[in-house]
Structures are given as C-alpha cells and as structure tokens.
A and B are shown apart, each in its own frame.
Chain A
Amino acid sequence: MADVDVIIVGAGPAGLSAATELKRLGVARVLVLDREAAAGGIPRHCLHSPYGMREWHRVMFGPAYARRLTDEAQAAGAEIRCRTTVTALRPGGKVEVSTPDGLQVLQGRAVLLATGARETSRAARLVGGTKPGGVMNTATLQGFAAFADHLPFRRPVIVGTELVSFSAMITCLTHGARPVAMIDAGPGPTARAIMTLAPRMLGIPLRFGTKIAAIHGRSRVDGITVEAPEGPQDIACDGVVFTGGFRPENALLRTSALQVDPGSLGPSIDQYGRLSDPAYFAAGNVLHAIETAGWCWDEGRKVARTIDAALHGALPPRAEVGIRTEGAAIKYALPQVISPVGETPPAFDRMQLRLTRPYSGDVGIGGTSHRIDSRPERRILLPLPLSGQGA
C-alpha cells in the first residue's frame, strides 16, 4: 500500500489547481489520479473559448487551457497518474484503484474528490421512441470533434439552451454539421438571453415550450416528434444532442459510506470543503455540477488551503450543524454543514443556492432576509451565517 499526503481524484480544473496549490504550500507528496488517457478533464475536448480569464487573464481554447493546468501542476511537483480509475473510497482516506496493472490500494492523509460532472443521458430523461445511433450528450459530440474529426450526423437537433448547448451548437457548425433547431421545454433560454444571439444570427430556429417526445429511426435517427405549444410536430433530423442537465459524477460517493446531499447529488461538505469522513474533501463540479472551469479552478485552490491546514492539525473538528432548507423552490444549499470557526479561512465563505424552478422573492437565512430573482441552473450567492467570521 503506497502512502501519499494528498490523493486527488480527477485531473480537471478543480483537481489540477488544488494539486498546484498544495505543492506551492509545501505538501510533500501530491498524487492526482485520472481515469482518462490524459489529464485536463472536460476542457480537453472543448474546442471553443473562453477559458483562462479568471486564472491568467487571457482567453484560451479548451485544449490549451487543459494543457496549461496540467503543466503547472507537474511543474509544481505533483504526480499525475492517468488511466487510473478509482473503484472504491474506504474510510480514513484509503482508496482502491484499477490500473492497467490491476487492482491497487493507496492511502492518503487526505483525499480530494474532484470527479466533476456529466450530462443527463437520454435514458435518464425517459425520452420515448426508438434507440438509433446518433443520439448523444455534448461531451460525446465533442469527443467526436476532438478525436475523430468527423461527426456522426449532419443535421442534429440540440435539446437544451444552457451554456453548454451553445457550445454544442458551435462544435456542430465548426465540424460540418448544421443544427436544424435548438429546443427547450421551458418558456425561455436557460442560459442568459445574450447567448441566443448566435443561433438567431445564424438562422438556427430556437423553439421554447418545445419538449422532445420521441426519437425515430432504426439504425440512424430520421426524425423526432416534439410537443410544441401548437401541438405535436415532427422534425426531420439525423441526430439528437442532449445538452446540459449536469449532475455530479457521484457513483463512487454513492457506493461509499460518505454522506450525499439528495438535492445536489454531490457530497455533503462543511465550509472547509470537508466531507462526513474528515479525511475526504471535495471541490469543483462534483459539488454543484454546473459551474465554469474558472469557478472550479478557484474552488480547487481554496480547498487546497484547507486541506493543508488539516494536514497541520489546524482545522477545527467537523461538526454536524446541518443547514436545513425549507421551501419547494430550493434545490440545495452549499455547504450543507457548518463546522466551528477557527484560524483557517473557510474555502466556502458564501452560501451557494440553487433553485428547482424560477423564483422571485425573499430568502431568509437565520434572521436576515435576502431578495433574489433567479431560475434553475443559476448560481445564487448569499452570506454564510458563520458566527464571528464574515465573507
């Protein structure tokens, strides 16, 4: 059993920035594990900009950004091991991994979970019809674009209007496919309205209140049926891209003894990013699924500092003062637990809230009230009720 100081599960923006920061803080052995063939995470196959604004104040494309994150972590002295799949999280920071050489057990003094997120599949959305080829998520589409240089369709329908949906649209257009429509069951775009400029200028119909009801075709897609405000309609197309609906990649968590928040589907953390087993920490999209690379990078850096404090015995014990949310519009609040306040600044100094439906009105935290006007998939930041320590 190999011993290291910090094991980081996932070499995406959160995991790599945490690795760089831990090395900068003088932690001796930092090991980053990733199941893919190369480090960098999702940005690796996002062939669009902008990346890197928050980190380096410049605009970069996904692959260059992923390379720079990887290079920085390695230059700082972190070890990155790819093709290494974590298969179980055991109590106290013991981690089982599968490698090309078989099963191994690693022991970390601390373990950071930075496993990221994935989109909701067609199956999990219970979309009816047949199961032809050419139905995929954005990540698979971008995999085709980045690694196979051709797409498996020419005229797909894009389902969703999140930020990633427009990224899927651009990937199609730059790789010889022209989306026949972007559809969304909601009354307006999930992303900010400015994002809809591009499809409007390019003449790609945006259809709201339009829900995909069935997919048709035997080996390839030959059309879909939608439920639209004017009734059911058929749209001819040769592919379907289900975009967004991000959810934490939580399979490891769910088969461990670690506490999972049923709202976020990610781990339950305190303001230090610490899980119910204090050997474990988490950062990035495994917590909230939907943030940009820059946001995850920042969280990774901040949680690295609390991990360093934990390695020096400088974190207060984790307490079970749970944050209870009331109200049907609240999907979850992060962090889920408040531990006692100590010398170490919290990694999460504000409360992140997400909604299940559009909501305009007041939110009360403890005694104070805050006005919000937001909708699902948008980040809401409110003061965290920490006694004696502000944001």
Chain B
Amino acid sequence: MNQDYDAAIIGAGVVGCAIARRLTLDGARVVVLEKGADILDGASKANSAILHTGFDAPEGSLELACVQEGYREYEALHAQMNLPLDRCGALVLAWTDEQEARLPALIAQAQANAVTDVELLSRDRVLTLEPNLNPALRAGFRVPRESLIDPWSAPHGYLLQALLNGAELRRSCEVTGGSFDGSQWTLTTSQGPVSAGRVVNAAGNYGDLIDKMLLGRTDFRIRPRKGQFLVYDKTAAALARHILLPVPTDKTKGIVVCRTIWGNLLVGPTAEDQDDRVTASLEEATLRMLEQKGAEILPALAGEEITTIYAGLRPACEFKDYQIREHAENMITVGAIRSTGLSAALGIAAHVGRMIGATAPLASPAVPRMAMLAEERTRDWQLAGNEGMLCHCERVTLREAKAALTGPLAPHSFAGFKRRTRAAMGRCQGFYCGQAVQGLLDKAGADRG
C-alpha cells in the first residue's frame, strides 16, 4: 500500500499548526488530523496572548531554546503574514519584601538566558512608567521585548500557509488507533484509514494517551492545569501599557494583567491541576478572586466592566520541561507544552523539522496575509466597501465576516468563527449580533460543532 502522506500530525493546536507549516515548507506531504470541529479548540483556545522572551525559563531547558527560536522566527515572519506584534514590554512587579529579595536572582537568570536588556527599577520608576499601578508596590524590573500577539491569527496563519502549499486538514477526525509496519503508519480514524511515513503527536492534553494508543507506552502523564481568565472592556486597556507580571513561582508564571492586541485588558490565569481533560469550568469564587487581584494591581480596574470570562486547560505533566522525543517507530511526540506554546510553537516546529530533516525545501512558498484585527491598526470598518458592521462591540464588518467564511481554513464552528473575526466576543456578548452571526454561519453551513 502506498503511503498517502509523509507525515500525519495529530492535533491542530498552535503546536500542530506550526509543525504542519514547517514540515510542508521542508518539502513533506502533510496531513493534519483534528478531532475537534475546528482547529485551536483544545489547550490553544485559552492563553494570555503574550510572545515571551524566555527571560524566566529554566536555564538550558528545551523550553527556553524553543521559546527563543520561536520568538525570532515570529519576529521575522509577522510582517509578511500581516500578524500583529505589539512590543509593549513587561514589568515584573514585587509587592512584598520576599518578592523584592528575589528580583536580583530573576535578573541574573534573564541575563543567563541571554535576555540582557532587563533593568531593575525603583518603585518610583515603575510608577512613572505605569501611573495607574497600586502605589503599594515595592520594586520591579522591565523586560522590554516581551510582546503581545494575536493568539489565533498566528496559528491560523501557520496552518493556512501549510494548506496553501499542499498540506491537508481533516477536522472532526479523531485518531482511534494505528499500526506501524516497520516503514509506515496506518492510522485508523473516525474518517477512515490514513497512511503516513511518520506520525507527529501534537495532541496537547491527550499527548500521553495518543502515545499509549499508538506505541503502547508513554514517558509522561498529562495532568491538565486549568487557567481561568477575566477580560475587561476596551476602556480598561488605557490603564496599563506594559504586561504586568508577578514574581513567578516554581509552578506558574502567576496572574498576569495585560492588554490584548484587540484593545481589551485581561487578568489571569489561575493554575489549578485537575484530572478532567475535557471540561475547563469557571467558578464564580475564583473569578471574584481574579477581579479582586486585578483591582489590587490596578485600583482603577474596580470600576471597569467585565466583557468576558474564559477558562482553558494547559497540558502540564510531572516534568517541568517540554517532552519532545523521537521514537524508533517513526513517530515524534511533542508533549507537555505546558504554558509557553504560543511563544515557542515556531521554535518547536523548527526543532521537530531538524529531527526529521528537510527533504526538498520549497523554493518560493505561498505566504498568506492574515486579517489584521489589532486595535491600533487601520481596521476594515474605517474603509470603504466594508458592507456595514456585523458586530458593533468589536467592530467587525460584514466584509471581514464573509472573508473569514471562505478559503481552505473557513470555520467549522461558531467558536471558530469568533476566533477568526472576534464577532460576538465584545462587551455585549452577542446581545446585538448573536442572532445575525448564527444566521450568517447557518447560511454558509459553517457551524458543524
């Protein structure tokens, strides 16, 4: 039997999308198998939308290497793919004596991680940079290159580039088993068999289960870590220019307060270990805690309106570092991409690409230009021929909506449509446009969730 593909990638999260792009550009015939109705529907759907420098990653870790390589590649490709990059910088803030005492060690770690432009700041300097901060803070340091990006247009762009250059995507396609005959894999899926020379397991919260199913063994065990977030309305974004980070702990980067590139302000995530891999439920008491935490950092936040709440599961395991390894059975596992997946995705993809080796790199691959939704850039509602506004809160035009419903990566679910356009994501949460959006999707047959 002829193999259909050089590589089958299991999982279309941000990591799977980036790997699909890398392997396609390296000349491989790639298929991406996603069990969700649409892509980015697992761990990738909830993160803090930051492009990290790796200043606080463990020295010498694979995570650090991937974050930094990913950062460099994003910087190099964002302009041609029309992806936003807001170089706002981050402030790491100490609120107690104990936290203040840890700042020099964190700065030393940043230096060791080759993030050399960090600077220790007095309380007064921090307050000059961010006058809305609670004056109770003690000190801080600035990491100038920490940046904001669009957590959805980036992975959409990665996968779209793969698709434009010959890769295939199958959605609602769950891998149910597979066998390796010594030279190729035959995967059984909910859409029939798929044969491929190699399998890449990028299954996120299911990474260990896929390993067990296909290899009969796994080197790690995923225990999802839940993160809950609050998102505030546009007026709150004026309260802070920088990404506001706490002094991290061993387990988590802690609760972040930062703008989004869409001009909102988010507070989160929590770090709550759980066994459930499916459901990330929100809890009112935790959300109230985040609300209070946010107002402790930025007192003016107390009067701001909450636009949305969300929770996600990040694939944590018993090890701190990423679990990326090549198996004898022509399979690569990319597991436990715990919290820096968005920053590291392109670096992880490059790492995987080197493990496989480029066969016939494409000489002049097609490059997609993504829809720009960043608030400070010119948006479609400012331009002629936009066909009117569909979503007033996020100012999404009908022309943008229609464009999002076409092409090889058109959405297959309401949530997928929202991720591509931001329609119904704003302060009214669909009060005005909810029914119109559903009507548009029904007409396009785009809601298969």
* Residue positions of A touching B, CB distance < 8 A: 35-37, 83, 85, 87, 98-103, 118-119, 121-124, 126-131, 133, 136-137, 139-140, 143-144, 147-148, 152, 213-214, 218-219, 251, 254-255, 262
Contact = CB atoms under 8 A, between A and B. Distances in A.
B61 interface: no
Interface stretch (B18-26, B265-273, B430-438): B430-438
13 contacts: A83-B388, A98-B386, A103-B381, A118-B428, A121-B308, A122-B429, A123-B306, A123-B307, A124-B427, A126-B306, A147-B436, A251-B235, A254-B233
B284 interface: yes
Interface in B270-304: 278-284, 286-288, 291, 303
Contacts of A101: 384-385
A140 B431 contact: yes
B428 A254 contact: no
Contact of A129 (B235, B282, B388): B282
A83 B429 contact: no
Q: Which of B283, B392, B395 has the most CB of A within 10 A?
A: B392
Contacts of B284: 126-128, 213-214
A128 B226 CA distance: 14
A140 B449 contact: no
Contacts of B279: 130, 218
A225 to B, nearest CB: 10
Given A122-B429, A148-B439, A251 B288 contact: no
Interface string B362-403: 000000000000000000011111111100110100000000
B309 interface: yes
Contacts of B291: 126
Contact of B306 (A119, A124, A147): A124
A130 B45 CA distance: 14
A87 B449 CA distance: 34
B382 A136 contact: no
B395 A87 contact: yes
Contacts of A262: 303
Contacts of B382: 98, 102-103
Interface string B211-237: 000000000000000000001011100
Contacts of A131: 282, 310
A100 B176 CA distance: 48
Nearest to A212: B284
B287 A140 contact: no
Given A83-B389, A121-B429, A254-B235, 6 more contacts: A102-B382, A130-B280, A130-B282, A140-B435, A213-B284, A251-B234
B305 interface: yes
Contact of A143 (B384, B429, B435): B435
A119 B427 CA distance: 11
Nearest to A142: B435
Nearest to B384: A102
A200 B235 CA distance: 43
Given A126-B287, A139-B431, A100 B303 contact: no
A155 B444 CA distance: 27
Interface residues of B, number: 47
Q: Which 6 A-B pairs have the closest CB atoms?
A: A143-B435, A121-B429, A102-B384, A140-B434, A83-B388, A98-B381
Contacts, number: 120
Contacts of B307: 123-124
A136 B434 contact: yes
A121 B383 contact: no
Interface string B233-245: 1110000000000
B387 A85 contact: no
A126 B392 CA distance: 22
B287 A136 contact: no
A208 B384 CA distance: 52
Contacts of A99: 388
B303 A35 contact: no
A85 B288 CA distance: 34
B414 interface: yes
A218 B414 CA distance: 13
A333 to B, nearest CB: 19
A128 B385 contact: no
A35 B431 contact: no
B270 to A, nearest CB: 13
A363 to B, nearest CB: 25
Contact of B281 (A119, A128, A136, A137): A128
A255 B263 CA distance: 12
A277 B355 CA distance: 65
Contacts of A118: 428, 431-432
Contacts of B233: 251, 254
Contacts of B431: 118-119, 121, 137, 139-140
Contacts of B309: 123, 126
Nearest to A103: B382
B439 A133 contact: no
A180 to B, nearest CB: 21
B383 A102 contact: yes
Contact of B235 (A102, A137, A139, A255): A255
Contacts of B427: 121, 124, 251
Contacts of B303: 262
Contact of B439 (A122, A126, A136, A147): A147
A144 B428 CA distance: 16
A100 B388 contact: yes
A59 B388 CA distance: 34
A136 B234 CA distance: 22
A214 B385 contact: no
A251 B386 contact: no
A102 B388 CA distance: 9
A67 B282 CA distance: 42
Contacts of B395: 85, 87, 98
Nearest to B379: A98
Contacts of B435: 140, 143-144, 147-148
A123 B424 CA distance: 12
B31 to A, nearest CB: 25
A71 to B, nearest CB: 23
B393 A143 contact: no
Given A139-B432, A148-B435, A251-B233, A123 B308 contact: yes
Contacts of A102: 381-386
A83 B399 CA distance: 14
A99 B382 CA distance: 8
Nearest to A130: B281
Contacts of A123: 231, 306-309, 429
A261 to B, nearest CB: 12
A148 B438 contact: yes
